[in-house]
């Protein structure tokens, strides 16, 4: 069977190239299921939850009776306690029949639900099932937060909680383990019980164990997928290097990992720039795949844009991080930070809040810059003169920097320095992006970004350019910045670098100059 990369729905090992998540499955089994824990798996959209649950089910079905459910498109269940109880009897009954349990067990399970005490009746049914099945039962519910904003859902959680506590006391029989999966953390559910009522924390799911297993894919997990692909296609790729490059772009976000590989395999191979698979599975090929990924419409980006529109404070926080280098100490109990973590837009890096991955970060830069372009012509360049920066298909970065000096001086030379200190990064990116758009990539080196300094890496047709943006804070600080940039040139393996300094001193000396050291050259622009 010809395998493919898959980014829609469930991944099947026999049909799809997949990253290695076996260690994650092992940890879930030993640390949670065998220990009889109830827990939630909550992470962002398209984070591999459904595939993880499927792989888990395949691994444990020989030892346990597994009941997998989903609350996707199940609004009718949550009309009343009776519809919930009767609906779950129907759903679980179908699974039991497929599991080929005895007819006697099915007959007992399908007895009519009491309309007067439906939830109590459902609880009794669960007790009988767990006592008669002959093996321990695992209940898995995917998309559990689809109907999590009403009292009926809370009543269902309360039933599971009560039976769990009674089991701990030895007075009831119930599921060995319950796994609830969704985007929102059901353990800290914030609900609104009646229209117009203020939202409040009110979840009975405080019995859930903390789920500490990362759902991110590591480079070694990605390598397993690429090794399987390489076995089939023999491209000669450097699996370790390509795996690390994909991880650097995605930080292991499962959908983005698979989509990068899918684009490389299905959309780039056979094109004029990449005539065969051998040419695609290179550093340049993955750069091109990342550019296509950011340009395409997809449900993940659509959801991100929608969520930022719904939560303007979260949007402003991200803008401050990207354009101003603002630092927010990481505190998960902060509602805004918690929301960004829930949606998988943000993460913690060295104790501060950071954007989740490089692809999200650059996509957000693109989005915010595009909005600025539509509101103002300042900072954009005349498209008719764009060609002057591209000679024989290659980017003339020296000219870009020199022309930016002229552009900045003409348009912003008399602006208030405090404005420029906050907006300098944005102004440069607004100038750069139309020049490289459609052919080149750029990203911000997250490890060096702060309010004083930013490193921008530009990839254009296989050539990298390192540009440091910094605010002038004295000669000594400036000299250290030059030294750091020379070290960065060694790291990236390039001979030429660019330093853009924003100097707001009254007696500042502006202009363009070259600095050389150890055979390497820096073109410095001071504005």
| For residue 501, pLDDT beyond 60 | yes
Distance between CA atoms of residues 317 and 327, nearest Å = 10
pLDDT score at 478: 65
Overall number of domains in the chain: 3
Residue 312 lies in a domain: no
Pull the structure tokens for residue 293: 């990924």
Any bridge partners for residue 453, and if so which?
470
| For residue 30, pLDDT beyond 90 | yes
Distance between CA atoms of residues 21 and 218, nearest Å = 10
- In tens, the pLDDT along 324-379 reads 888 999 998 898 999 999 999 999 998 999 999 999 999 999 999 888 877 765 54
Residue 195 lies in a domain: yes
Residues 243 and 197 in one domain: no
Residue 20: name the closest of 254, 247, 221 by CA.
221
What's the whole-number mean pLDDT along residues 376-401? 76
Which percentage of the chain shows pLDDT scores above 90? 61
Handedness of CA 363, 367, 370, 372 (dihedral sign): negative
> What pTM does this model have?
0.88
Q: What is the CATH number of the domain that holds 99?
A: 3.40.50.300
Residue 57: name the closest of 33, 82, 36 by CA.
33
What is the pLDDT confidence band of residue 225, given thresholds at 50, 70 and 90? very high
Q: How many CB atoms lie within 10 A of CB 353?
A: 22
Residue 241 lies in a domain: yes
**Residue ranges making up the domain that contains 491:** 385-527
Where a domain ends, among 259, 276, 296? 296
Pull the structure tokens for residue 304: 């991100």
Residues 168 and 241 in one domain: no
What is the distance, to the nearest Å, from the Cα of residue 122 to the centroid of all Cα atoms in its chain?
38
Residues 50 and 121 in one domain: yes
Residues 182 and 235 in one domain: no
Residues 449 and 404 in one domain: yes
- C-alpha gyration radius of the chain: 28
Q: Cβ neighbours of residue 285 under 8 Å, at least 6 residues apart? A: 264, 268, 274, 279
Where a domain ends, among 141, 166, 201? 201
Distance between CA atoms of residues 355 and 344, nearest Å = 9
Residues 33 and 173 in one domain: yes
Residue 364 lies in a domain: no
How does strand 520-526 pair with strand 496-502? parallel
What's the whole-number mean pLDDT along residues 255-280? 96
Residues 176 and 245 in one domain: no
pLDDT score at 202: 58
Which percentage of the chain shows pLDDT scores above 70? 88
Distance between CA atoms of residues 244 and 242, nearest Å = 5
What is the pLDDT confidence band of residue 192, given thresholds at 50, 70 and 90? very low
Residues 426 and 495 in one domain: yes
Residues 437 and 526 in one domain: yes
Residue 93: name the closest of 125, 141, 54 by CA.
125
What's the whole-number mean pLDDT along residues 410-430? 75
User: Could you tell me where the beta strands, DSSP code E, fall in 144-278?
Assistant: 177-182, 190-191, 200-201
How does strand 440-444 pair with strand 453-460? antiparallel
Instruction: Give the side-chain half-sphere CA count within 13 A for 205.
Output: 29
DSSP states of 209-243: BP-----SPPHHHHHHHHHHHHHHH-----HHHHH
Q: Collapsing DSSP states into helix, strand and coil, what is residue 139?
A: strand
Residues 96 and 134 in one domain: yes
What's the whole-number mean pLDDT along residues 193-207? 60
Q: Cβ neighbours of residue 300 under 8 Å, at least 6 residues apart? A: 45, 46, 255, 256
pLDDT, the chain, mean: 88
């Amino acid at each position: 069977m010809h395998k493919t990369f898959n980014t829609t729905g469930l991944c099947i090992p026999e049909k799809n190239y997949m990253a290695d998540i076996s260690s994650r499955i092992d940890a879930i089994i030993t640390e949670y299921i065998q220990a009889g824990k109830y827990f939630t798996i909550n992470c962002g959209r398209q984070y591999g939850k459904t595939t993880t649950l499927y792989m888990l089910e395949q691994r444990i079905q020989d030892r346990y009776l597994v009941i997998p459910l989903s609350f996707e498109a199940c609004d009718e269940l949550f009309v009343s306690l009776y519809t919930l109880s009767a609906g779950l009897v129907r759903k679980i009954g179908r699974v039991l029949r497929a599991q080929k349990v005895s007819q006697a067990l099915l007959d007992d399970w399908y007895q009519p639900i009491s309309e007067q005490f439906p939830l109590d009746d459902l609880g009794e049914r669960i007790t009988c099932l767990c006592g008669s099945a002959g093996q321990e039962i695992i209940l898995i519910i995917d998309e559990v937060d689809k109907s999590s904003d009403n009292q009926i859902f809370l009543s269902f959680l309360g039933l599971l909680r009560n039976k769990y506590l009674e089991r701990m006391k030895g007075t009831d029989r119930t599921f060995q383990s319950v796994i609830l999966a969704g985007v929102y953390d059901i353990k800290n559910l914030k609900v609104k019980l009646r229209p117009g009522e203020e939202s409040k924390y009110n979840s009975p799911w405080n019995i859930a164990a903390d789920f500490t297993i990362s759902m991110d894919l590591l480079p070694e997990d990605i390598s397993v997928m690429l090794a399987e692909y390489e076995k089939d296609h023999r491209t000669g790729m450097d699996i370790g290097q390509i795996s690390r490059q994909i991880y650097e772009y995605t930080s292991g976000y499962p959908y983005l990992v698979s989509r990068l590989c899918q684009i490389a395999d299905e959309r780039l191979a056979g094109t004029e720039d990449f005539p065969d698979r051998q040419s695609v599975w290179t550093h340049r090929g993955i750069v091109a795949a990342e550019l296509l990924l950011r340009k395409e419409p997809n449900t993940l980006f659509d959801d991100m844009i929608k969520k930022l529109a719904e939560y303007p404070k979260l949007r402003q926080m991200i803008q401050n991080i990207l354009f101003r280098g603002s630092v927010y100490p990481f505190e998960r109990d902060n509602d805004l930070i918690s929301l960004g973590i829930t949606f998988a837009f943000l993460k913690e890096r060295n104790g501060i809040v950071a954007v989740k991955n490089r692809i999200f970060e650059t996509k957000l830069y693109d989005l915010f810059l595009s909005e600025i372009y539509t509101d103002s012509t300042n900072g954009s360049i005349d498209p008719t003169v764009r060609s002057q920066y591209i000679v024989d298909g290659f980017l003339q970065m020296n000219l870009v920097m020199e022309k930016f000096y002229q552009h900045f001086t003409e348009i912003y030379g008399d602006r208030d320095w405090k404005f420029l200190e906050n907006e300098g990064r944005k102004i440069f990116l607004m100038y750069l992006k139309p020049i490289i758009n459609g052919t080149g990539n750029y990203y911000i080196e997250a490890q060096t970004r702060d309010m004083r300094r930013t490193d921008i890496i530009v990839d254009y047709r296989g050539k990298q350019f390192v540009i440091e943006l910094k605010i002038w804070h004295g000669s000594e600080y400036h000299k250290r910045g030059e030294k750091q940039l020379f070290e960065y040139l060694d790291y990236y393996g390039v001979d030429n670098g660019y330093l853009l300094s924003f100097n707001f001193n009254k007696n500042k000396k502006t202009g363009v100059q070259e600095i050389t050291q150890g055979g390497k050259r820096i073109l410095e622009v001071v504005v």
